[in-house]
Amino acid sequence: MDSAVTFGRLAEEIAREAGEMLLAKRPARPEVLATKSSPTDVVTALDRASEELIRDRIKAVRPDDAILGEEGGPTGEGRVRWVVDPIDGTVNFLYGVPEWAVSIAVEMDGEVIAGVVNVVPRGEVFTAVRGGGAWLAGERLSCNTGVPLERALIATGFGYESGRREVQAEVLRHVLPRVRDIRRGGSAASDLCSVAAGRVDGYYERGPQYWDYGAGGLIAAEAGARVGGLEGRPANPGLTLCAAPGLFEELHDLLLPLDPERDA
């Protein structure tokens, strides 16, 4: 079992099962188990239950593979690594906002070869394998092209720490007059899939972690988008950008002089 397609199918099967479990077990207001980076960055008991389910299913089939999970951190070694966000958009999940996802990416030798983002409340499962396109419900996805910056609908997100939010608000103040409008969904994985599906034209955010954009980044790229960071760097927690070629460069050049990677 070493083809991207086979890994993608397994990742999809596991992401669907985790999503079904989360829907079945989510109470009216899930209990907050702990906080992560700040009191507003929560983790629920079901975050951990979801990741445990995903890890168990992977290990049952691929016991020697490495896993990087948001809640459990890195485990194992090997040329295959699974990158897992058990609930991307935990605050949305907590409040019942229907914009959260289970995200699973599969790396081989350090390159993401398959990705699945299950936007559970919408019943939408986005998939991609490297070189095989991005897909939703049997339809191949294609990002919007030829959209100039001033007509672009741009998705973004905000951090949890107040100092970072101050900077993000300042950056947004400069971006908003230059674009069609801004959308803030609350899930980086879902936002990247929205670029892939043409629901927004672009996306930028300071702070998303690898498990947030690993799968969604591949899906967006396979739909024709460019995914990266500032000044030629790959996507990273400092800043992740995503848009069709042309708009990507315009958005990049708008953001760069604003120094969006800084924290107050």
Catalytic residues: 70, 85, 87-88, 90, 212
Sign of CA dihedral 194, 246, 169, 207: positive
- The three-state secondary structure class of 148 is coil
Q: What's the CA dihedral at 174, 158, 201, 176 to 10 degrees? A: -20
Token couple for 7: 């890994």
- For residues 14 and 19, what is the distance between their CA atoms, to the nearest angstrom? 9
Other beta carbons within 10 angstroms of residue 3's beta carbon come to 12
Other beta carbons within 10 angstroms of residue 52's beta carbon come to 15
What amino acid occupies position 239? L
CA atoms within 13 A on the CB side of 17: 15
Cα separations (Å) of 39 from 2, 32, 43, 160, 253? Answer: 42, 11, 10, 8, 34
Q: Please, is 192 exposed, middle or buried when counting C-beta atoms within 10 Å of its C-beta (0-12, 13-18, 19+)?
A: buried
Cβ 196 vs Cβ 220: under 8 Å: yes
- For residues 134 and 192, what is the distance between their CA atoms, to the nearest angstrom? 12
